[in-house]
Amino acid sequence: MSADFNIQTVLVAPLDWGLGHATRSIPLIRALTELGYRVIIATDGPQEKILKREFPQHDFLSLPGYKIRYSRSRGWLPYKIMQQLPALLHIVQWEHRWLQQVVEQYHVDLVISDNRYGLWTNKIPSVFITHQLTIKAPYGWLEKIIQKINYRYINRFTVCGVPDMQEDNGLAGILSHPVKKPKIPVKYLGLLTRFQAKETSGKKGVTVLLSGPEPQRTLLEEKIVEQAKQQQQPITLVRGLPAATQKLELPFFIQQFNHLETEDLQNLLLESEMVIVRSGYSSVMELMQLQVKTVLVPTPGQTEQEYLAETLQEKGYAVQMTQEGFDLTKAIALSRSHVYRFPQLSSFDKEKIQALLSSISNHRNSKKQGG
């Protein structure tokens, strides 16, 4: 690494779109900490609670999230998102101004932004973390327009880090391996997962792992709980609500947790016969890492999750079921009859963060020489 590239303090900021961006930041923050960097974490809400439990020794800055809300019906989701676009663009502009002040005040040397488009600056290098270089859309022409806009923002950063394997289209397929890439260097980091695969003596029970924006998180929870009650089906429900203190009134055969710490959640998943979960990419990474039998239930209308669920089922890695047609008994039977085969994975480690930092240095040096 060149002598003019001296990093001491790193700002890490995950998006608040569900919990996945925060949980996949955990291995990044661990690696940076082990390498001796001072890490400042910028977030708020449930994401802040998760990361403070993992890293109580680090400094935190309050950074408001994008506060995305979904519609109750699948068909209205695109219109709901479009309705929120002006507010989202305002937040992106605001967080860009916020970063300019933070860099000076806290002597930040590097920014790592997980899908927060405004966290770039000309003052210091910045890394944009995303697995969505292709954002799926109903029509090819619309997909190209969205990608052009997406790249316009991504190209403001120094380097793009992709949490996937480079070989064989990785885990995310066309999402992370587009035909056309951004102009800035793209580095494949391997899977960003906080979990470690290990052998377990036996697997039993059905675990339901909920996450994602409202109201769809609650709608799926209500559907699964009602069916479990009617069928008297024992399940363990992890609600994905780290800030919640109240619990649901449930029969004895439904065990519930608002949230589980990393080690407890890992052990529960490893010991489960199957896991019913959203097909969010962070959840997919974690469950593939653990090689757990999985039933994926995409969030209605969220094209990324629908694509991932379909792709992973085609490869035999998981099975899928729509939320509209979800049937707990059928989901359990489908998982038990499916012949799972799990992919060969490459996970993120300290060497990959060092390679990422080296790519930043090389990019800076080539720009100087070119300029």
Which of 360, 371, 349, 346 is CA-nearest to residue 165?
Answer: 346
> 312: buried, middle or exposed (CB in 10 Å: 19+, 13-18, 0-12)?
buried
Calpha distance 19→215 (Å, rounded): 15
pTM: predicted TM-score of the whole model, two decimal places: 0.88
Q: Report the candidate in 356, 361, 313, 367 with the shortest Cα–Cα distance to residue 338.
A: 313
Which residue's structure tokens are 């890394």? Answer: 127
User: How do the pLDDT tens digits run along the chain, 371 residues long?
Assistant: 333 468 899 999 999 877 889 999 999 999 999 999 999 999 998 899 999 999 999 999 999 876 666 655 555 456 566 666 777 788 899 999 999 999 999 999 999 999 999 999 999 999 999 999 998 887 788 889 989 999 999 999 999 999 999 988 899 999 999 999 999 999 999 999 999 888 777 789 999 999 888 889 999 999 999 999 999 999 999 999 988 889 999 999 999 999 999 999 999 999 999 999 999 999 999 999 999 999 999 998 888 999 999 999 999 999 999 999 999 999 999 999 999 998 888 889 888 888 888 888 776 666 555 55
User: Using CA atoms, how far apart are residues 279 and 302, in angstroms rounded to an integer?
Assistant: 10
Nearest to 17 by CA among 84, 72, 98, 79: 84
Phi-psi region at 307: left, alpha or beta (left = phi > 0; alpha = psi -120 to 50): alpha
Residue type at position 337: S
* CB-based contact 238:209 (threshold 8 Å): yes
Phi-psi region of 18 (alpha: psi -120 to 50; beta: other; left: phi over 0): left
Element (H, E) at 9: strand 9-14
Most distant CA atoms of the chain, gap in Å? 69
Q: In degrees, to the nearest 5, what angle opens at C-alpha 96 toward C-alphas 90 and 98?
A: 100
In Å, how far are 117, 119, 249 from 82, measured between CA atoms? 17, 22, 37
Determine the 3-state secondary structure of 276 from DSSP.
strand
Which domains can be identified in the chain, with CATH numbers? Answer: 9-192+348-370 (3.40.50.2000), 206-337 (3.40.50.2000)
Q: CA-CA distance, 23 to 193, in Å (whole number)?
A: 8
Say how far apart CA 334 and CA 112 lie, in whole Å: 40
Q: Which helix (H) or strand (E) holds 12?
A: strand 9-14
